[in-house]
Amino acid sequence: MSKQDKINNFDPNGLGDENNNIYGLPFTTDEAEVVVIPVPWEVTVSYSGGTALGPQSIYNASYQVDLFDPTIKDAWKIGIAMDTPSNNIESKSESLRRKAETYIGLLEEGDTPETNDEMEKTLKLINAECVEMNNEVKATCLSFLNKNKIIALLGGDHSTPLGLIQALSEKNNSFAILQIDAHADLRDAYEGFEFSHASIMFNALKIPQVSKLVQVGIRDYCETEYNLIQNSNGRIVTFFDRDIKHKKYNGNSWISICSEIISVLPEDVYLSFDIDGLDPKLCPSTGTPVAGGFEFEQILMLIEMIVESGKRIIAFDINEVAPGGDEWDANVGARLLYRIANQVAKSNGRAGE
């Protein structure tokens, strides 16, 4: 059956069919315009775990999402499909996470890799395995980029998109990263882990094609990160949560703040969305929740305004979703993924009005 035949025979108002792909949509990764790449990895998480379960929990919750999108007519016809998770990544994440927990525990007690041989071995092993994970993600992403697919990477912790960013650097001469996050993620090898979730943007800035990092909602950061931002000569532009809130309290509209954010973005943008950028009431089970943050529609409005401005979102990630006991976080994550995917498709000319 062709994609058009599937569209003709599909009822977007019916119950989600669990025999189909994500959201109950009938499309394969070959037929879909947007391919979701799950990366169930959380080896270097330094507080609460559970994010490795994020991709599957979002997949499960997706069948409860209504497919009508008020901003794009027949958005479901774009086609979204999730790729099969890597068994290699999933199994390694579980075993390495246990080693990392032991290592972090010793670190908190005052031991160091320089004085503890087992810690040194663990650190070298995890850093090497993180390189392998990044390489596998990069290869998977390149295979879909070569098929002209729009990629949505679904973590896992926030270390997971580096391979995608590396893949995009081979396909794009220059692009900015728009980071929605509670944390700056600019630490150099946090806790000794070169590819820590707290180091993702520090590592991304090593890629020459990343022309600028625009951070929105940052509210938890150390002095070293703050100094890195201030001394970046404009390569890092940070809209701190405190400053955003103060502007709103002084009468500025969210529309005007969004316009200010958009004004510093170049034409091509990669969106990196840590779920803890939202108000913690929307993501209480995420690994490192922080008071403050955004409402659901605030971020969607920003993304819609970026698309309306004519800028292109070349790919995106959503990460740090941990399902928790009632899977509320997965429900929020599934709805965000659908709405953002539709907007990204629109920005690439793959969707109507």
CA distance 151 to 82: 10
Helix-strand-coil split of the chain, %, nearest 5: 45, 15, 40
Query: Which pLDDT belongs to residue 353?
Result: 52
Query: Which pLDDT belongs to residue 48?
Result: 66
Percent of the chain with pLDDT over 90: 92
Q: Is the pLDDT of residue 250 over 90?
A: yes
Q: Is the pLDDT of residue 352 over 70?
A: no
Rg (CA), the chain: 20
- Can you read off the two tokens belonging to residue 13? 């108002």
Query: Which pLDDT belongs to residue 59?
Result: 97
Among 315, 325, 278, 275, residue whose Cα is nearest residue 297 = 278
Mean pLDDT of 144-163: 97
Q: Is the pLDDT of residue 49 over 80?
A: no
Q: Is the pLDDT of residue 17 over 90?
A: no
pLDDT tens-place string over residues 313-338: 999 999 999 988 788 999 999 999 99
pLDDT tens-place string over residues 195-241: 999 999 999 999 999 999 999 999 999 999 999 999 999 999 999 99
pLDDT tens-place string over residues 35-44: 999 999 999 8
- Give the 3-state secondary structure of residue 17: coil
Residue 177 near residue 272 (C-beta atoms within 8 A): yes
Query: Which pLDDT belongs to residue 20?
Result: 96
Query: Which pLDDT belongs to residue 325?
Result: 77
pLDDT tens-place string over residues 262-307: 999 999 999 999 999 999 999 999 989 999 999 999 999 999 999 9
Residue 163 near residue 131 (C-beta atoms within 8 A): no
Mean of the per-residue pLDDT values for the chain?
Answer: 95
Among 185, 205, 311, residue whose Cα is nearest residue 258 = 311
Query: Which pLDDT belongs to residue 46?
Result: 65
CA distance 168 to 297: 28
Query: Which pLDDT belongs to residue 311?
Result: 98
Say which DSSP state 215 is in: E
Q: Is the pLDDT of residue 47 over 90?
A: no
Q: Domains plus CATH for the chain?
A: 3-347 (3.40.800.10)
